[in-house]
A and B are shown apart, each in its own frame.
Chain A
Amino acid sequence: MRRTLARLGGLAVASSLILGACGGAATPTPASSTAPGASAPAPSAAATEPVTLSFWYWAESDAPGADKWMAETVAEYKKVQPNVTVEVVSQPTDTLMSAFQTAAASKSGPDIASQWATGPVLSFVWSDSVAPISDLVSTDEMKHWLNTNENVYAGKTWAMPMYLLGIGLAYNTELFAKAGVTPPAGDRWTYDEFLAASAKLKAAGITPFVGGDKNGYLGAWWFANIGGQQLDSVQELAKAVVGEVPFTDPKYTGWYSILDDYVKAGYVNDDVMSLDLDQGVRLFQQGKGAMALTTDGMLATAINDLGGDKVGVMRPPKWGTGTLADAGNATQSISHFVTSWSAHPQEAAAFLQFMHTPDRLTAWYKATGVIPADDRFDASLVTVPQLQAMSKFETTGPQVWLENWIPPQIDGEADIPAGQMIFSGSGTPADAADLWERVAGTWRSAHPDELANWQKLAQ
C-alpha cells in the first residue's frame, strides 16, 4: 500500500510540477521586441518569430456579443499577422480588479488588460503596471478615438477606449399610455416631471421604475447619473476625494434624500434587493415596469423583446443645478491597455489598433449594438431610432461618467453600499453621507501615495 501511496504521491507531485510549468503565467519569451517608439508600427513591421499575447478581456457584460466579436477579431488578426497569436481570457466582472491587482503585484500576467476607465485605470498607472498607449500609438490614430480624456494623466493617454456606453432612461410607451403619461418633448424630463409621471404610473397599478440593486451597481448608476448633478466639474468631486471638502456636503450626497423619497413612495419594484442589475433590467424587457436605466445594449434587447414601437428612451431626469447636470454620461466604460511588463508592447499595441480598423468597428456594432468609440465609425449603420437617439446623447457635448472619478475603494465601500442602504431601507440619507465621508477618510490614510496623485487630478 505504501508503494502505491508513494507512487501516487510521486505521480501527483510530478504531474503538478509539469502542469505548473505549462500553466504558468504569460509566456515569458525573452524580449525580442523592438524598442517602443512614438510612431505607429505598420503591421508588417512586426517580428517574424511567433508571439503569443495574453489579453484579459472584459466587455461582454456591457455589450453582449463582444466575446464573439473578439474571437473573430483574433482570427482575422491571425490572417494579417500569422505569427501573432492572441489568447483571450474573459474576465468575470466580480474579480476584474482583484485578479489584475494580483498580477500587478507580481508584475507578471497578461500583455493586454482591461479595466474600467479613470479611477481603476489610473490606480494601476500609479502602481507602474501600465504602459502608456500614447507612447505606442501615433497621435494620428489616437485622434480618432473618442473619450480618451478619461484616461489622461501627466500628459499621456494611458489606455484605449473601444466603445461608448451611455445610460438612458428607457420607457415603455404602452404602459405610459395606459397611465396617461406623455414622454418629454425634448431630451429629458425635469425631476419634478419624472416624479409626477411616477405617481401617475403607480396610481394606474404599474411599477414606475424597475431595477436590481443586489450587487449594488444600480445605486452607483443613480450616483453617476443623478447624484452628481449639483457639481460643476470632476475636479470638484476630486476635492472631496482628497479631503478638501467633506463628502457630507449636500452638493455630494444630498441627493440620497430624493432617492430615499422615491423608494419610500413605492415607485421602485419590491424585489429590487433580490435582483442583480441585469435581472432588474430584465423586468423592463419583460414589460413589467414602465421605466428603467439601461445601457445601449440593454435598450437594444428591450426593443427586441417588446417591439420597437413600445420602447422609448430619454436622458436621465435633470435634477441638479451644477454644470455637470447638463453633461452627457457616456463613458468608454472599459479601457484596454498594454501592461508595463509585457514582453511585446509593440505587438500588443498593434493588435489594439487592429480592433479599431473600420471593418472591425462595423463588425463590433453589428455584433453588440453598442457604438464604438471611434469617429471613423459609420454612424449610418445605426438604424434603430432609439439607438440613434442614444448615440446622439453620447456624442453631443461633454461626457462625464462620474463613478469613474472616484478611487475604486471609495466606489466599492461607499458608493455601492450607500445605494444599497437606501434601496433596502437599512440606512438614512444621512447614514449614506456619513459612509462616504468615513470611507474617504479611510482611503486617504491607507493610500497616501495615491492621495498625492488624486490631488493633482483635483487641480
Chain B
Amino acid sequence: MSAMTSALRRRRHFDVTPYLLVAPAVALILLIYVYPIVRVVIDSFLSPTAERGTTVGLANYTFVLNDPVFWKSAQNNAFLLIGVPIMTILALVIAVILFDQIRGWRIYRTLVFTPYILAVPVIGVTFVYLYSYNGIVNEMLRAVGAGGLAKDWLGNPTLVMPSILSVIVYRELGFGVMLFLARMASIREELYEAAMIDGAGWWARLRYITVPQLRTVITFFVVIELITMLSWVFAYVYSMTGGGPAFASSVLELYIWKYAFAYRAIGIASAVAVLLLVATSVFIVVQLLVRGDESDTGEE
C-alpha cells in the first residue's frame, strides 16, 4: 500500500478496519450467546413441550418454583459454594508449605496438580469405586477400627453432596496450589527480609505479606470456583450419581439437561435456564467489577 493511500486512510474519521477485525468474533458471539439467551428467555414463556408454541405466561416458572426437585438442585449448587472457602484455604496452606521448598517439593507439587489435568468423568467413576460401601475408603476405616464411620458415601442421601464436594475439591485444589505458587514466586524478597529483620515470625509473615500479596490471585481463584460450583459441576454429578439417590444430588445443570433432552419439556427447561442465568448474573457483575476497569484504559 502506498504511503499516500495509507496516509489518506489515517486521515479518514471512519476506519472500517477494526470493525472488520472484530466481525467474526462478534458473529460467533451473536450466534452462540446472544441468540440462545434471547431464545431461552422467550421459550420459557411458551408451552412446556415443543409441540405447541402457545404462550403460557408464567406457568413454567410456577411449575419450576413449586418443584421440590428444582429447589433441591438449587440447594445443592448453593451447598457446593461452601466448598470454595475450604478449597481456597487448603490450597493456600499447601502452597505455603511447598513454597518453603521442603525436600521434594517439586514432586509434591506435580502430584498435587495431577488430579486437575485428569478428566472429570475418569475421576468421578474412580471415586464411585473408592467410595463404594465396600470400597477402599470404608475398608481402610474398618481396618483401623473405625468401622462405624464407614458409610455409603454416594448412596446415602445426606452424605452424597458432601462426598461429591470432596471429589470436586480433590481436583480443583491442584489448580489453586499452582496459581498461588506461581504468584508467590513473584513476591519481592525484600518484603520478607525486612519483615524478618523486624522479627516477624512465620505466621506474621504469612498474614501480613504473603496473603495480601496474593489478594488478586485469591480473588481470581475464588471467583472462578464460585462460578464452577454453579455452572460446571455437571460432569461430576453425571458420572458419579446421575443425580441420585432419588434426586439427592441433583444440580441445576442436570435438571435442565433432563427436562430439555430426556423429557422434551422445552418451556420448563428454558425457565430453569433463565433462573440459572439470573443466578450467575451476580457473578457477571463481580467479574465486571474485578476486570472491567481494565477495559477503560487503552494502554497499560
Which A positions have Cβ atoms within 8 angstroms of B? Answer: 94, 97-98, 101-102, 105, 213-216, 270-275, 409, 412-413, 417-418, 420-421, 423-427, 442, 445-447, 449
Chain B residues within 8 Å of A270, by CB: 133, 152
Q: Which residue of B lies closest to A447 (CB)?
A: B49
Q: How far is the CA of A216 from the CA of B155 in the complex (A)?
A: 11
Chain B residues within 8 Å of A273, by CB: 133, 152, 154-156, 245
B115: interface (CB < 8 Å): no
Q: How far is the CB of A75 from chain B (nearest CB, A)?
A: 34
Chain B residues within 8 Å of A427, by CB: 246
B261: interface (CB < 8 Å): yes
CB pair A424–B245 under 8 Å, yes or no, is yes
CB pair A271–B248 under 8 Å, yes or no, is no
Which of B81-89, B262-270, B274-282 forms contacts with chain A? Answer: B262-270
B121: interface (CB < 8 Å): no
Which B positions have Cβ atoms within 8 angstroms of A? Answer: 48-51, 63, 67, 131-135, 152, 154-158, 241-242, 244-248, 261-265, 268
Q: How far is the CB of A100 from chain B (nearest CB, A)?
A: 11
Q: How far is the CB of A443 from chain B (nearest CB, A)?
A: 8
Known contacts A272-B155, A275-B133, A426-B158; can you find 15 more A-B pairs with CB under 8 A? A98-B261, A101-B262, A101-B264, A214-B241, A271-B152, A274-B132, A275-B132, A420-B244, A420-B246, A424-B245, A424-B248, A442-B63, A442-B67, A446-B49, A446-B268
CB pair A98–B244 under 8 Å, yes or no, is no
Chain A residues within 8 Å of B242, by CB: 94, 215
Given known contacts A271-B152, A420-B244, A446 and B263 CB-to-CB distance under 8 angstroms: yes
The A interface is mostly helix, strand or loop, or mixed, namely: helix
In the A-B complex, list the 4 residue pairs whose CB atoms are closest, starting with the nearest: A273-B155, A271-B133, A426-B157, A274-B133
Cβ contact of B246, chosen from A102, A417, A442, cutoff 8 A: A417
Q: How far is the CB of A268 from chain B (nearest CB, A)?
A: 12
CB pair A216–B244 under 8 Å, yes or no, is yes
Q: How far is the CA of A420 from the CA of B157 in the complex (A)?
A: 10
Chain A residues within 8 Å of B132, by CB: 271, 274-275
Given known contacts A420-B244, A445-B48, A271 and B155 CB-to-CB distance under 8 angstroms: yes
Q: Which residue of B lies closest to A212 (CB)?
A: B155
Q: Which residue of B lies closest to A412 (CB)?
A: B262
The 6 listed contacts between A and B (C-beta, < 8 Å) are A105-B50, A214-B245, A270-B152, A273-B156, A417-B247, A447-B48
Q: How far is the CB of B52 from chain A (nearest CB, A)?
A: 8
Chain B residues within 8 Å of A418, by CB: 246
Chain A residues within 8 Å of B152, by CB: 270-271, 273-274, 424
CB pair B268–A424 under 8 Å, yes or no, is no
CB pair B244–A417 under 8 Å, yes or no, is yes
Chain B residues within 8 Å of A442, by CB: 63, 67
Q: Which residue of B lies closest to A424 (CB)?
A: B245
Given known contacts A273-B156, A446-B48, A421 and B265 CB-to-CB distance under 8 angstroms: no
CB pair A409–B246 under 8 Å, yes or no, is no
Given known contacts A216-B244, A274-B154, A442-B63, A101 and B133 CB-to-CB distance under 8 angstroms: no
Q: How far is the CB of A223 from chain B (nearest CB, A)?
A: 14
Q: Which residue of B lies closest to A272 (CB)?
A: B155
Cβ contact of B134, chosen from A101, A271, A424, cutoff 8 A: A271
Candidate in A270, A442, A449 with the most chain B CB atoms within 10 angstroms: A442
